[in-house]
Structure 1
Amino acid sequence: MRARADACPGAWRRHDAADGALARFRPVGGAIAPAELRLLADASDTAADAAPLELTSRGSWQVRGLTVKGADDLAAALAAVGGPAPLLDDQGRDVPCSVVASPRSRAVDAPARAIADALRGRTDVPGRLLVAVDDGTGDVLGLDADVAVVLGTPARLHLAGAPTDIPAAGPTAGPTADPAGLALAAIEAFLAVRGDAWRVAEVGAAAVLGALRTREQKRVLEHAEVLTCAERTCVEVLPRLGEVTPAAARVLADLGDEGAALRVTPWRTVVLRDPPDDARERLAAHVETGPSRWASLSACVGAPRCAKSHTDVRGDLARAVATGRAGGLLHAHWVGCARACGTPAGPVAVVEGTPGGTYRTIVRTGRVSG
């Protein structure tokens, strides 16, 4: 049981870091509009120490080094943008937890929007909860989300990374179960049994399933056949360590204005659906556009931006990559202290900074909770 509420930052609830206020914005299934991206870039330009925009391991955007007024002004400006899947709606409400989706598939857009719209402004949903909508390829299913739906006929429910027999049995049974309704029913079932827990695994999938089976079926809707974006119509690029400079953000926004649909991913990449033919060339000066040693690396922010970090993690990692000492098949996550912020799930080598300025490596072979 948790003795405190989760402290995940959002658009209005910020984290007070060493370099100023940190605001987090959770896209709906990774979607971001060009106008929103330009506002984030403008805020980054004025941030302390010219901090870049950051992508998180749940596909969110972070802006660091803000003043309180600057953070308030940014949230208000984003609320005025509007659109079908806004970071903040016209009432200024953000999504309380991450709703990720298969970035290449158009079929996930509508259910991801429906889930996010139903959750906006909720204060009873913990920020650590992770909801995923998978197009059937298994890409975001591998994140072991608390609640995941896999599109199909019918849609299938996974809880805490494990498949369930819903909707083959229970109240959501039926050949055309609505994936958004299925996810929302599972979320409500979790909230009914969570107590002070943040994650489904903390109360157990069985408890959530039991609560779900007692609920009445509210709605059953048909969903379209899964349509996956062909590889040739998508470009995926990698900002190093998830850092997006204002210049890179503006190039992405320009490409969005020219028809590319922008989707950020939980792997700290950006997918452009239907981009202009020269998109990769225009981005090459700002992000990794091909095979790269950086693809298997991530890191916490480190010193001096984090007061708890023992080392300049990102500077040390850049030097290690330049000398060929970092970047390989096993994912490595570099951190500045034992809290190991941002450590991804699954097999990972955690390279941890120590008070003496050296590093130690801990290989984790299973899921990392947090």
Structure 2
Amino acid sequence: MPAPRRRDGAPVRARPDACPGAWRRHDAADGALARFRPVGGAIAPAELRLLAGAADAAPLELTSRGSWQVRGLSVKGADDLAAALATVGGPAPLLDDQGRDVPCSVVASPRSPAVDAPARAVAGALRGRADVPGRLLVAIDDGSGDVLGLGADVAVVLGSPSTLWLAGTPTEATGDDPAGPATLALAAVEAFLAVRGDAWRVAEVGSDAVLGALRAREQERALEHAEVLTSAERTCLEVLPRLGEVTPAAARVLADLGDEGAELRVTPWRTVVLRLRDTAPDDARERLAPHLETGPSRWASLSACVGAPRCAKSHTDVRGDLARAVATGRAGGLLHAHWVGCARACGTPAGPVAVVEGTPGGTYRTIVRTGRVSG
């Protein structure tokens, strides 16, 4: 008898997803890796300093879902970091005072204050849930379409009414009350959980199955969430850490700017957006320029896996080879290129991308793809 398969044709899984978190870590060649998922990209200066301190001299990493990663931790060091983060508090903490993190990524348009409250409400309702797969992606879009392009499993676009997208496709489901965006997103997540079986992503069960479960839940009592708050438009500065690596020096400057009034948001594009309010310093760009890319850069179209020696499966020193290619003008162009050390192609972004793959012989081959290689 053939093995059972899901709707997308893949075999039924016998294990949960292995996405790391604050407490569930990945054992890499260079030690434990812990991942911290900010709510809509928000991070407080105190949190950033704790992450940078735990990383010691190594850079922090930003992921394609706007999460932070700390590598090379010992078991005790990882536990101490999580415990310290749980004491920071704030409106959108990485870990709450019970030590609970957000089980999946909740991304939001980084420049718009209108998405902050619904993102917090969604993350707050999911925090600590063991039944939510780490591969699930929830997005709150301010109407600009920036995070809508990520093809999130559940996306809500703010408007009158707000609209629901599933697996990158619009649906007829809407929410028109003040708490609509968060209520609509959470209802869709719960509908997916009701039908997912062993699936990690909405596309694996199909949007129709999720919509059917959503309609069945329409008569249930709606959850109460914070009203969407709006505020005056802010000036934003977006800066690019090369390959998503935030050095300790860059982290210190960002945290200092946060203390001085800038609101920090990390993005799924491995950048950092600073919302500069009236109290924010005027020289933010100048202070960041020695540490981060603050203008047009060849690095803007490049990303990479961690490579050797930090990953035992990598055939090549991906990041060293890529830095040399940029320095000689052989990398960085209009088409996004993602350099990887093996065929797993970890971290490959969605959309058209040239995957530059390391081989066992130490050379690279280029494969142009139109979608995601690995989740």
- Pair 1:218–1:258, CA change in 2 (3 A): farther
Q: How far apart are the structure 1 equivalents of 2:231 and 2:358? A: 41
Tell me by how many angstroms 1:219 deviates. 6.1
Work out whether residues 178 and 227 of structure 2, in 8 Å CA contact, stay in contact via their aligned partners in 1: no
Deviation at 1:365, TM superposition (A): 1.6
- Pair 1:111–1:294, CA change in 2 (3 A): same
- TM-superposed CA distance for 1:226, in Å, is 8.8
Q: 1:52 to 1:365 in 2, by over 3 A?
A: same
Residues 176, 40 of structure 1: alpha-carbon distance in 2 compared, 3 angstrom cutoff: closer
Percent identical: 90
Which residue of 2 is the match for residue 148 of structure 1? Answer: 155
Q: Indicate conservation of the 8 Å contact 2:66/2:107, yes or no.
A: yes
> Structure 1 residues 40 and 237 mapped into 2: Cα distance closer, same or farther (>3 Å)?
same
Alignment CA distance shift 1:39-1:224 (3 Å):
closer
Residues of 2 paired with 1:341 and 1:317: CA distance? Answer: 16
Q: In terms of mean alpha carbon deviation, does 360-369 or 230-239 score higher? A: 230-239
- CA distance 1:329–1:217, shift in 2 (3 Å): farther
Does residue 96 of the first structure (1) align with residue 98 of the second (2)?
no
In the superposition, the TM-score normalised over structure 1's length comes to 0.92
| Aligned CA distance change for structure 1 residues 332 and 93 (closer, same or farther; 3 Å) | same
> Pick from 342, 345, 349: which aligns with 2:347?
342
Q: Deviations over 1:307-349 (max 9, x none)?
A: 0000000000000000000000000000000000000010000
Structure 1 pair 229/335, CA: closer, same or farther in 2 (3 Å)?
farther
Instruction: State how far apart, in whole Å, the 1-side matches of 2:349 and 2:230 are.
Output: 26
C-alpha contact (below 8 Å) 1:146/1:160 kept by paired residues: yes
Gap change, CA 1:80 and 1:321, over 3 Å in 2: same
Unaligned runs of 5+ in 2: 1-11
1:132-164 CA distance string (max 9 Å, x none):
000000000000000000001111000000000
- The alignment partner of 2:332 has SS state of coil
TM-fit CA distance, 1:175:
5.9
In structure 2, do the counterparts of structure 1 residues 369 and 341 end up closer, same or farther at CA, with 3 Å as the change threshold?
Answer: closer
TM-score of the two chains, using structure 2 as the length reference: 0.91
Q: Distance in 2 between matches of 1:222 and 1:78?
A: 27
| TM-fit CA distance, 1:277 | 1.1
Q: Kindly indicate whether the alpha-carbon contact (under 8 Å) linking 1:346 and 1:368 is maintained by their aligned counterparts in 2.
A: no
CA deviation vs aligned residue, 1:249-284 (integer Å, no higher than 9, x gap): 01000000000000000000000666x210000000
Q: Which residue is 1:294 aligned to?
A: 299
Number of aligned residue pairs: 359
Contact 1:176-1:220 within 8 A present in 2 as well: no
Using the TM superposition, name which of 222-231 and 98-107 deviates more.
Answer: 222-231
Cα offset, 1:301, TM superposition: 0.1
Residue 40 of structure 2 corresponds to 29
The answer on whether the counterparts of 2:182 and 2:225 sit within 8 Å (CA) in structure 1 is no
Give the 3-state SS of the residue equivalent to 1:74 in structure 2: helix
Any conservation in 1 of the 2:56–2:248 contact (CA below 8 Å)? no
Q: How well do the aligned residues superpose, as a CA RMSD in angstroms?
A: 2.2
Note the C-alpha offset of 1:4. 1.4
CA distance in 2, matches of 1:298, 1:273: 30
Structure 1 CA distance for aligned equivalents of residues 267 and 314 of structure 2: 26
